[in-house]
Amino acid sequence: MFPLAVGRRRVHRSVAAGVPLAVLAALGVTGTAGAHDAASSPRVTSTATLGDIPLGTFSNTLLPGTVGDDRGVDLGGIGSDIFPAGRTGEFWTVTDRGPNGQIKVDGKKRRTFPVPGFDPAIVKVRVSGDTVRVLDAIPVTTSSGKPVTGLPNQAGRDEAPYSYDAQTPLSYNPNGVDTEGIVRAADGSFWLVDEYGPSLIHVSARGKVLTRYVPKGLHLTGADYPVVEALPAVLLHRKTNRGFEGLAQLPGGDLVMALQSPLSLPDGDAGDASRTTRLLRFSPKRQAVTAEYAYRFDPVNVVDPTEDDPSELKISSVVAVGRDQLLVEERTDKAARLQLVKLTRGADILSGAWDDETTSPSLEQLDDPSASGVPVLRKRLIVDLGTVAGVPGKIEGVARVDRDTLALINDNDFGMTDGSGAFDAQGRLVDSGIETTMTYVRLPDGI
């Protein structure tokens, strides 16, 4: 048992954070659908919330002395991904890089790290009634056992890190990772994906980085663990903070990594306007990418009727649901849809010209890739989570519990918001009130 007491849960939860359906119905939120409609529609069956655990206590229990001042921040951010842990109600989760935000200074945004000593961690949780309990936690460490931290790696490529008030520059760290996806291998080790590289990271059962696979030409030096340039160089064109976000493990052991957003090819404007991102298949046995697939987002106003900016489209989770089949989560921060795709040989674009950055127009610039002869993964909508009452916003982790049930987890960003009002005059967090919530959704038609 992880040796931390779970604090009392906050009471200022929003309706979207998982109010029972009966209550929502009484408030008139769910409409007036009859029993037949409710039974034949996707529905939330239960929700559970992570209690308050001071971030300093959590971090220093794992790695003593790493956090001197947590600025009133509680453990959060574990909703970056989830993976079934074997027993009913138990999941492996992973934090992202830690509390971070943005503050404008002289008209330019600066990336803040209020708790720079925080170390990304793998966290095992159990859903017990309406509570998410921490069972175990594993810090991600370097070869010598030091924290990797969540700090950016390279000046000129990653955002410059600053203190909580955006006034004091912090140091880059080549070991730092912004972890987002997690799966557990049959031997007990873990695979994670990261947004900085972007990279695929193999870690031991106790969290030590065994190998970090990065794009060719990244030239990441000074890391205290093995770094292998095994991924296509075209990935160097990832948008800032939009590297690998989703990770799935196929039944045979191969991994599928999802780029959160289209690449900035040939430039940022093309990437922001594009609806085509990429999935990559990686063989742990061969330590190489063996296939690549073009994935086409639906129009942004289809995914989220309140949004008209295509750059808000993201993939945050991919889940294996059979041999070469995936659930892919398309989302904005306010809405999400799960699509079913099949990875076919005919859809593989790895051997084509689309990984050559000089190809013009680029894959990202094509208005209709299929019309240009590019095979695009065919997809089928499984569920529009934006229409399911009780599902919170910013769902980043999806797990298949059984044929009819999904477990969803949100990223609460450690209770942080952007802007100078994120902390009070004493440098203490002004909490957003958004909790980490696990939500079970039943699908009448199954998967």
195: left (phi over 0), alpha (psi -120 to 50) or beta: alpha
Pairwise CA distance, residues 310 & 307, whole Å: 8
Sequence length of the chain is 447
- Residue 140 domain-assigned? no
- Residue 146 domain-assigned? no
What is the domain range of residue 324?
244-387
- Residue 331 domain-assigned? yes
Residues above pLDDT 90, as percent of the chain = 90
Res 7 pLDDT > 60: no
Q: Give the total number of structural domains in the chain.
A: 1
- Residue 296 domain-assigned? yes
- Residue 444 domain-assigned? no
Residue 40 binned pLDDT confidence (cut-offs 50, 70, 90): confident
CB atoms within 10 A of CB 118: 29
More confident: 9 or 398: 398
- Backbone φ and ψ of 75, nearest 5°: -55, 130
- Residue 330 domain-assigned? yes
- Residue 119 domain-assigned? no
- Residue 260 domain-assigned? yes
Strand 314-322 to strand 209-215: parallel, antiparallel, or no bridges (unpaired)? unpaired
Q: Given this model, what pLDDT does residue 2 score?
A: 59
E-assigned strand segments in 304-436: 314-322, 325-331, 336-342, 379-384, 395-402, 405-410
Pairwise CA distance, residues 41 & 38, whole Å: 5
Per-residue pLDDT tens digits for 378-424:
999 999 999 999 999 999 999 999 999 999 999 999 999 999 999 99
